[in-house]
Structure 1
């Protein structure tokens, strides 16, 4: 089997977990990393992770070069992607994980720099967005630059798709109880986005905006304008949970909704949607590669058309896993 050759631009939380996840696959490999950090620092951050544990393999730096499990990985420190010469190492897809080059125009620099295709690890204002299990089959060979949407959209969209396909969503509100991210501060300070966002992440529950629910309308057009949502940033390092409250067009029971979601998790949505009836908490989903795990015991119903559905997601690992899946998929087109 010919492996898809992946390049990673930006070796932060998502970039590193994408790298880790490729070692669980036999159809994809990382051949190049671009990041402004020194190689020994990149190696250290790859080897040790406070959330996901030590890297399961060997990470070495020899003569300024990175070797993982004995294999050489090209490392560069270019600010301008146009100068990356991705084609020199045969890169099929670049995982754009800096959070900077998130539009068609800016991500085009990777194509100009020798890459065949680009997948953006963030929502994009103009690049087509695809969510595995929801609309990834609509991607075409002409889609050379795509977005993997957000981690929360990857949790909400599969959930909303199954519910809408079976019961019809009239309207809904989502709240994501979201783990802290790198943009937050450990102590109070200024925030570019909003004043509250600059408050100490370890001490506060912080209300925040999110476009994740509205973005579902981009990947499921029939839900456009029917969903919106907000976020509550909470003091945990990883794993978040979506609280989706929906009004349905078809009368049903909570038990029937759970039955449909469980069936989807075992069939067409397997590996993407999960289902549990256990008494779980957030830590139980660390490093879970699925993007939406329905918690049957946590949801409730008010009447035959009004329900609250709860679904967990490792906002780092699940998202990164699906970014790898989408990379392999678009490379095959």
Structure 2
């Protein structure tokens, strides 16, 4: 029988997750049977069918009195504002995919479990490492999942893009320090024209008119996955007025000599042998739009690799911050549930 999923929070990542699952080779093994989203049903149905970034939904979407029918499969839609307001237990679920981004501390996440959700997969990092049972960057540490976990985080789109590259470069050259600058497409916590924001004065400004520095937890997220680099990673981020696809510029100092060709050779080999389907490379003259709907965690632009002297280098990564990340959520879900099913005794 297909595993039964519910999506809590049906925004950009929630909708991309449903689409990525629909387009994945694992499609027949999972069924999204419920969506919890405060928005009205007509808007939910409309935004499932049509997407300005990823195009029309490649299937049939219909509405009923209390939900959707997607390619003939019913999906119950609820409009609750809290985990307790949904009867997850009655849905006979295997996993709730938490895409609202509202819950990051363990006590908050355990509210889903207490309300009847058997397991939770997060589309964002936990507040701290202790708040989740595991934080996964697929391709780097997913094999550590045992199947016994109740709360798993898929980290962030930037962490999924950067961690495989940093791991490879550290193994090859020994990273002394790294500074990452993320150039991230606009997000829905920014207004189209100047408006109020609950915490960040810079994010009161129009997303489509300026390049806007914002805070980022990327450095701490990387250290959570690569603890040997703790204290040697720093990061900053700016939002740029594009709708999708982002980039990370990584400047690094090394313990061993580096050069452009050496760096590119190591990353090409990793993309082709160690991380196939997850990491890619290209030396074509790209613009960001070239990677819209690209499922890789990151694409190394080898034409932009630079070196200064023998111990300082930089690399540029492209990544679809929506589709690449949603694709990794599908991969993490599938591996996690395969491990759970392989356990010798029930949870």
Q: TM-score, length-normalised on structure 2?
A: 0.92
Q: Deviations over 1:224-261 (max 9, x none)?
A: 11111101111000100000000111213221211111
**Deviation of the 1:159 alpha carbon:** 1.1
1:223-262 mapped onto 2 (5 Å cutoff): 223-262=229-268
Q: Is the 8 A contact 2:284 2:303 kept in 1?
A: yes
Cross-structure match for 2:76 = 74
Cross-structure match for 1:99 = 101
Distance of 2:248 and 2:2 partners within structure 1? 34
Q: Is the 8 A contact 1:134 1:220 kept in 2?
A: no
Q: Is the 8 A contact 2:190 2:204 kept in 1?
A: yes
Distance of 1:116 and 1:177 partners within structure 2? 37
> Which residue, 213, 221, 231 being the options, matches 1:207?
213
Give secondary structure in 2 for the equivalent of 1:267.
Answer: helix
Given the superposition, is the C-alpha separation of residues 142 and 202 from structure 1 closer, same or farther in structure 2, using an over 3 Å criterion?
same
User: Aligned residues, how many?
Assistant: 332
Deviates more, 1:37-46 or 1:20-29: 20-29
Give secondary structure in 2 for the equivalent of 1:177.
Answer: strand
**Deviation of the 1:209 alpha carbon:** 1.5
> Which residue, 122, 138, 143 being the options, matches 1:120?
122
Cross-structure match for 1:305 = 311
Distance of 1:4 and 1:51 partners within structure 2? 29
Q: Is the 8 A contact 2:66 2:76 kept in 1?
A: no
**Deviation of the 1:220 alpha carbon:** 1.0
Deviates more, 1:14-23 or 1:244-253: 244-253
**Deviation of the 1:273 alpha carbon:** 0.9
**Deviation of the 1:84 alpha carbon:** 2.5
**Deviation of the 1:180 alpha carbon:** 0.2
**Deviation of the 1:132 alpha carbon:** 0.8
1:40-59 mapped onto 2 (5 Å cutoff): 40-59=42-61
Distance of 2:97 and 2:232 partners within structure 1? 31
Distance of 2:206 and 2:159 partners within structure 1? 26
Give secondary structure in 1 for the equivalent of 2:304.
Answer: coil
Cross-structure match for 1:20 = 19
Cross-structure match for 2:37 = 35
**Deviation of the 1:328 alpha carbon:** 1.6
Distance of 1:193 and 1:175 partners within structure 2? 22
**Deviation of the 1:28 alpha carbon:** 2.8
Distance of 1:14 and 1:267 partners within structure 2? 29
Unaligned runs of 5+ in 2: 340-347
Cross-structure match for 1:189 = 195
Q: Is the 8 A contact 1:291 1:313 kept in 2?
A: yes
Distance of 1:250 and 1:5 partners within structure 2? 49
Q: Is the 8 A contact 1:84 1:110 kept in 2?
A: no
Cross-structure match for 1:10 = 9
Cross-structure match for 2:345 = none
Q: Deviations over 1:163-206 (max 9, x none)?
A: 11221111110000110000001111222232111111110011
Give secondary structure in 1 for the equivalent of 2:184.
Answer: strand
Q: TM-score, length-normalised on structure 1?
A: 0.96
Cross-structure match for 1:152 = 158
Cross-structure match for 1:135 = 141
Give secondary structure in 2 for the equivalent of 1:54.
Answer: coil
